[in-house]
Amino acid sequence: MLAAGLLLLGAALPGAPNAAAQSRGEGQSRGAAVELIDQPVLIQSLGMSIRLPVGASYNTDRMTGGQASFSMVASDNTWRMILHSPSSSDLTLNPESVADNLIDELRQSRSQMEQDRRGQRQVGSAVEILDRSVELNINDFPAARFYARIPGNVGGATIVSGYTIFQVGAGRFAILQMDCMEAEYTRARAAYETVVATAEFRDPADMAAERAAGVRAGNALLSSLNRSDLEAALLDQPAFYRLYRPAPTGARADAEEIAYQQIDMRMGRRGELDPRKPVRRWTQADHEPGFIVTIIGRFLDGSRHVDSESIFFLSLDRDAEAWALRMVVREGRSETGWTETGVRSGGDIKVTIDQPGQTPVLKQWRKPAEAYLSQVESYLLPRILAQRSAATIFNFYRYQSSTAEIALRRDILEPLNDADDEDGAWRLRSRPDENSPEEISILSADGELIRRQLANGGVMEPIELEALRRLWKSKDLPLN
């Protein structure tokens, strides 16, 4: 039995899913074609890749017992999809028998009982199986699929859940679950089956060998760098960037502004990690020289705007680093702050995360033995790769604030040619971690960013400060 996996899946079912809480927006058709992002999302632990609908948000996690968990939500919140990876010691299980077990569990969750003189007994279930397909073959992998109509509890909404079960090994399965409101079933099913049809699986051994080769290449690159190489990758002056979602018209005035950033990369002192601390109060340690990267930005999120300041320090010998991230979320008169501080000294990495109303969290790691990329080096990396003409696949271990974990990132530098129809000299394909889709950056010959295409459809481009001010003012957007 896949008991642990089945119970986990069943726990997500009671009540209507939050992802389906809103109705479809006007002008959207149930029969509309499903547009997918170009770059697939990779779930490394399964060797599985899938392409997401444009605009869908996603999240990856690793759950108790080592199960990989991946979820995505439609841009209009009308459906959600959840990927689970249960395993079993029963090696005779196949997709059809797992589907049987899931259906039994669903029916038990909404069983209909009858009282007689001997007590209660089950006489049926409110769960209705709408459709079932067995012995499917999806991209050469055996699979099974079914859809179930699941009434809510008293006063609750009725949802429809779809399950596609892939067998990825003996006793190992990948189950992609879809939940939607009953009224959205037809449209959500089209999106779901379009996504499922893109699922592909690779041999884990091949992926492990590829990962190891990338780590060796990353380690060799970092070992070859010296102080002069890092100094050559610094900026002459602060650079400004605009993050936006292009409009169908292609006009700048019609695009949706998402954020802007000011990035500075220069030589500095460790004491600059705290701009609020006067130089006269600096300690001897604060005067240590090194490399500084500063990022100041504003992100728009509906009625809220998020202001952030990130400062990273790397010692001249690259043996020590520190950083401080501060973020303030503002909505009307409400203001909420968040901070993260990190330090690496020798082989120890410590990060403290402080959020309102919560006890500060301290996380610690030993520095990876190979291919560890400091925070400062991660921002200098595109310029370093371009200046080295390092056209190959690199893997690096790097701390990620978005997940509060050390993750394996991948960078692939490729030369552009006339057929690419691009203005730059290089294409840099980057994955911030193994489960994220690629971001595509077009770079000049010396590594200056010309354009970055994000997986969610956003575009990041350099912009002059005055042009940025005019643009945001013309759209009546809040500038700091």
DSSP for 45-110, please give it.
Answer: GGTEEEPPBTT-EEEEEE-TTS-EEEEEE-TTSSEEEEEE--B-S-TT--HHHHHHHHHHHHHHHT
CA distance linking residue 132 with residue 126, whole number of Å: 17
Please check whether the domain covering 3-202 is classified as CATH 3.40.1000.10.
yes
pLDDT, averaged across the chain: 86
CA distance linking residue 375 with residue 313, whole number of Å: 8
Work out the percent of the chain whose per-residue pLDDT is above 90.
58
Hey, where are the domains in the chain? 3-202, 208-474
Highest mean pLDDT among 15-24, 48-57, 73-82, 274-283: 274-283
State the distance between the two ends of the chain, measured CA to CA, in whole angstroms.
57
Whether this prediction's pTM lies above 0.75 is answered by no
Decide if 385 contacts 410 (C-beta within 8 A): no
**Has residue 265 got a pLDDT over 90?**
yes
pLDDT, average across residues 66-83: 81
CA distance linking residue 212 with residue 190, whole number of Å: 38
> H or E segment at 242?
strand 239-245
Highest mean pLDDT among 16-30, 48-62, 323-337: 323-337
